Structure 1
Amino acid sequence: MSAESEKEGVSELHRAARLSVAPMMDWTDRHCRYLHRLLSRETLLYTEMVTAPALVRGGALHLLDYAPEEHPVALQLGGSDPAELAQAARLGADAGYDEINLNCGCPSDRVQSGTFGAVLMKQPELVADCVAAMIAAVDTEVTVKCRLGVDDQEPEAVLPDFIEKVAAAGVRRITIHARKAWLQGLSPKENRDIPPLDYPLVMRMKQAFPDLHISINGGIDTLDLAEELLAEGLDGVMIGRAAYHQPADILCAADRRIYGASGPDSDPIAAVHGMLPYIETHLAAGGKLAQVTRHMLGLFAGRPGARVWRRVLSEGAHRPGAGPELVQEALAAVRPEAA
């Protein structure tokens, strides 16, 4: 890749990162991402975290599977060994991912025991070594997602030091979850809600590092708030649970409101019809309907018929032989003439 085309690719990716759907374990798999892409052509999508050991030592390359339609799509890696992460990044780049992201924010016990995720906030020099090795291994952009700090760390002190070290190693784009992570005393679920949000600190990091592309994550549940944060000077907004549980509310108008696209907003009913051939292909390959439809339950959140839509899919998708006709039956509850 020429330097000019590489620069152009990074510029396009930075534009896509104005809005992204957060990597979420057990949620943002390839079926979920395919649905999200039907709702927004522009939003940057992320995989679930994939551990470098699983790819490099375990040979679990199926974890890298995705549909070409998902682009722009980023691979999030977990790990703390620079050489192993470099190998994993190379596998991700070879698979065609648009970005390789290093997880320095996940607070789960499993992540802590593997010395990666949020616990890496305590070792910025190691993170710098990891991203430097990854950057040296691939042409694909390498990014970092982090927290404000962990446990008794003082975010005002540790966060700028962390950012300075990873930036010196070559990272140009960082997503900051605007909460600390308490590795002792709070569960992973509690870590998503209990530590207070500190958006002003993330704003100050953008002011302190104006040349970096800085995105904010945590507690953002509407496009209105996303637009406010972008207007205040942040480069990107990452939305997690709201984009999963109410995908139409977040993604249907995103192309117009966040990216200035012309044309009508996307429609969740059209997205359901777009999922039907995908479901048929998945079933023909031996997959189960529920593996796809579990990500579609919130598609009509807040709309008439949403409860019946969820019930039909939840109760029926696990039954032997369940297929696209069940989805059409559920859709009839939302708008009878649409099925």
Structure 2
Amino acid sequence: MMLRLLFALLLLCGASPSLADTVWLLNGDRLSGQVRLFDGGTLLLETEFGGIVRINAKSVATLETRQRMVIRHQRWRGRKQYATLRAAEQPGRVTLVTHGEPFTVALADLYQIMPTRKMLEDWIWRGNVDFALDFQRGDTDIDDRDIMVLTDFRHNNWRHNLRGEYNREYKDEVRSIDNYLAQYSLDYFIDRNWFWQGRLQYRRDDIEEIARRRSLGTGPGYQFWDNELGAFSLTSLLNVDDYEYADGGDERTASMAVRWDYNRFLVGKTLEIFTNGEIGVPLSSAVSEKLDAQAGLRFRLTSWASFNIRAEWDRVVGDGSINQRRYTLGLGVAW
């Protein structure tokens, strides 16, 4: 039931508002949709009839957009231009319309085209759900289940971030791993890059020495970029951390932490590199170090399905210690 509801929401949120861009191919065909990205020799066009369509840039004669795009040219030395695109008469060329005079360039000289990201309009919802199942039968029977959910909602100056994890493993019907995590953070953007974050996190582990961890933190962050090709941000937090141990003890401490969140799409958005995590130093506690990090790859099988490889490291050093490293392979959905 939950999976059906999730897919229904994805279909509703994935509906395109207004498809007004046009792509002409060298074979004479014409496609209508929304240009999502031109990068790595691939044009991504979102259509009403087929979702995201990948087009080899060598097959494109010209294109036209109603939306304002970010343009990067081979000869502009890293600088970018903002323009709408108009069809050119000669195949293999396109006309850029800026605040000045229109000028025509070769498509082969453009290495990147992407829509401008509207900061203060509309809802933006993105996320991933990754599943990993492992069943082994032999001298030792292993049943392993892992689920991770990462999603964020953005509207006006506010961004809501949700993260959830569930990990359980049995070896010969004996639990060897049993934990889950829930995290919510709220960002308020002061300008296009700077934001202030408040974060609440809860972890429970029925196997390790530290049975429960609660963390409440706040601090400034900086968004280096956030576009169709990915995002990168750093956040510094002042946290209040509560630890409950399996033997019944507990402890409260303050800590300073740095969080990072990075993802980058390659090869026409077919491959995604990602890493996120937090490293913290308690200010006064028997806990001397904590690290929560993950990194991996996602390979897009379709516009919404992916194959993922992920490595995780959860480490706490102190009176009660945790040092878990996990490596998973699985499937997921993205939107």
Is the shorter-chain TM-score for this pair beyond 0.5, marking a shared fold?
no
Comparing both structures, which one devotes a greater share of its residues to strand? 2
Which one has the largest radius of gyration? 2
The bucket for the TM-score relative to the shorter chain is: under 0.3
TM-score by length of 1: 0.23
Comparing both structures, which one devotes a greater share of its residues to helix? 1
TM-score by length of 2: 0.23
